[in-house]
Amino acid sequence: MPRVALVLHATAMLYETAIAAEIFDLDDYDLVVATADGSPHHWLPDLPTAPFRTIADADTVVVPSADELDADLDPDLLAALREAHRRGVRIASLCTGAYVLAAAGLLDGRRATTHWLHAEDLARKYPRVDVRSDVLYIDEGDVLTSAGKTAALDLCIHLVRRDLGAAAANAVARHLVMPAHRTGGQAQFIAAPAEPRTPGGLAPTLEWARARLDQPLTVGDLAQHAGLSTRQLARRMHAELQSGPLDWLHQQRIVRAQELLERTDASVEQVAASCGMGTATTLRRHFHRAVGVTPTAYRSTFRVA
């Protein structure tokens, strides 16, 4: 029976902790809660507990998300994680639990993910980690990381699939009323970046362009409206938006497509025309590249009833 150690570190968050406890508190698993000194935790008082130093005896260690990303981590926990990894224990983090694994050095030279809001920060703090912000989870064999919040469910069910097979994973998913496997990645859940709304600057030109996304706009059109040369426009957009004119236009067309797929019954062909993508084939290609799923799959997930 696989033994799973659920690590309740000092800044663990309840949501991801509850996900792991729900999934691994099955007859097929031996679940233990790991705390600093082995004392019972008030969140899971009925589960057996053990101190951090014993997690190397588990088959799998699960580290929930952390809500204080700059807090000093327990050196005993980091040492226990390194020892567990040295012994070949499989270690998984949920959401911002990746910060704990990164602090222990377990993600150096590896691909890893976390909630998309924190991906850039994780990459900055731990430059030896290859942070990917567009996936739901990453399985590196002995080290696994998940993206934000409900992606913890995806990773935990993936672990069940690895341990017990597809039938067991499907049974857990049905019990939780969720898909056993979701297509796409975090890209479909990432909000469009905020843009300047202050008077002046490029805001009037951006609003003008958004109102004409169904038309074949060019960089020259934007520059002319802004009263700038194309080079000046490019410099201003990089300064204000951290994006070039063509990239910005492409992003806005994708955002418009998402809005139409969510809020209307327009066909994919109509959506393509309305957002300036021309044909359904072009929209499907660019949408899948940007969002990670097809327009039809996106609509089935996010359509507003």
Query: 98-124: per-residue pLDDT in tens?
Result: 999 999 999 999 999 999 899 999 999
Q: What is the mean pLDDT of the chain?
A: 88
Measured between its terminal Cα atoms, the distance across the chain in Å is 44
Residues 29 and 130 in one domain: yes
Range in 60-64, 90-94, 245-249, 267-271 with the lowest mean pLDDT: 245-249
Residues 25 and 160 in one domain: yes
Indicate the number of domains in the chain: 2
Question: What average pLDDT does the segment 256-267 reach?
Answer: 88
Residues 72 and 170 in one domain: yes
The residue among 152, 117, 141 whose CA lies nearest residue 131 is 117
In whole angstroms, what is the distance from residue 216 CA to residue 164 CA?
53
Tell me whether residue 198 is in a domain.
no
Residues 37 and 147 in one domain: yes
Tell me whether residue 194 is in a domain.
no
Tell me the residue range of the domain where 296 lies: 203-302
Residues 44 and 80 in one domain: yes
pLDDT given at position 167: 76
CATH of the domain at 270: 1.10.10.60
Paired tokens of 305: 């009833």
Rg (CA), the chain: 23
Instruction: Tell me if 124 sits within 8 A of 140, measured CB to CB.
Output: no
Residues 14 and 77 in one domain: yes
Tell me whether residue 196 is in a domain.
no
Pairing of strands 3-7, 60-63: parallel
The residue among 35, 32, 106, 98 whose CA lies nearest residue 65 is 98
Tell me whether residue 208 is in a domain.
yes
pLDDT band of 198, cuts 50, 70, 90: very low
Please give the model's pTM, rounded to 2 decimal places.
0.65
Give residues with Cβ within 8 angstroms of 177, minimum separation 6. none
Residues 96 and 167 in one domain: yes
Residues 180 and 227 in one domain: no
Last residue within a domain, chosen from 164, 188, 212: 188
